[in-house]
Structure 1
């Protein structure tokens, strides 16, 4: 059962994924540079911030619950609000990348550097997410998905770095999760 304290994480996660699945269908062409990004590149990376903060506060088990529940609701909503292929690609990429993020973050959380766990887990998760999502969603479509993927990944890495600012400000609001030692 999902703890009510996890609801804010779940709601924000669902909102980010659904918005991103709608926004990924629209190219972003900055400064006339052509099709190098989609608008979804600017919203989705914040899902890693939500995952990392949830992991810090509630631990990996409860964070996986948020990821799985977010996955189920977001894919259902995305199938209704965007194209089914986008919803499928998003679901596969989201679940794989977020669960990897939880694992990497949890292994690095004891690092001396407060920023190592969120930066590494978000970067590694972003690489997996980008690879799965763009290849499933757009391969064979005739759209410039490889350039979108490269642009998207670049933005995800940039946002992973910038997200360290809110992470640093929010990470101490509640007592960090401490695993029980048997």
Structure 2
């Protein structure tokens, strides 16, 4: 249970960070054209009072969806793993 959740967490954070940084960050402008809309500032997640670049909000939203899906998928895994790890009762 711990290994899959840690692996999912680390993999999701790494995947999101690499993709959105390379795709939208001004630091990688040499790799291709910048998207002005993605680099403009807006409220974080569209509603919070913190102003940040839009691509940061998109990355946080993407990460949130990945983590929600991981939790939903890992709950049945945990239940099955717990069931299989219990010793069989003798009749």
TM-score range for the pair, normalised by the shorter chain length:
0.5 to 0.7
Query: How many angstroms does 1:161 deviate by?
Result: 1.3
Structure 1 unaligned regions, length at least 5: 1-114, 172-182
Structure 2 unaligned regions, length at least 5: 26-33, 39-53, 82-91
Partner of 1:165: 75
TM-score norm. by structure 1 comes to 0.28
- Pairing 1:124–2:10 present: yes
Q: Highest Rg: 1 or 2?
A: 2
Partner of 2:64: 154
Partner of 1:141: 35
More strand by share: 2
Query: How many angstroms does 1:141 deviate by?
Result: 1.6
Query: How many angstroms does 1:168 deviate by?
Result: 3.7
Aligned residues: 57
In the alignment, the residues of structure 1 paired with residue 21 and residue 80 of structure 2 have an alpha-carbon distance, to the nearest angstrom, of: 34
Query: How many angstroms does 1:169 deviate by?
Result: 6.3
TM-score norm. by structure 2 comes to 0.53
1:21-170 equivalences in 2 (<5 Å): 115-139=1-25, 140-142=34-36, 143=38, 144-168=54-78
Segments of 4+ in structure 1 off by > 3 A? 168-171
Residues 74-130 of structure 1 show CA distances to partners (whole Å, capped at 9, x for unaligned) of xxxxxxxxxxxxxxxxxxxxxxxxxxxxxxxxxxxxxxxxx1111111001111101
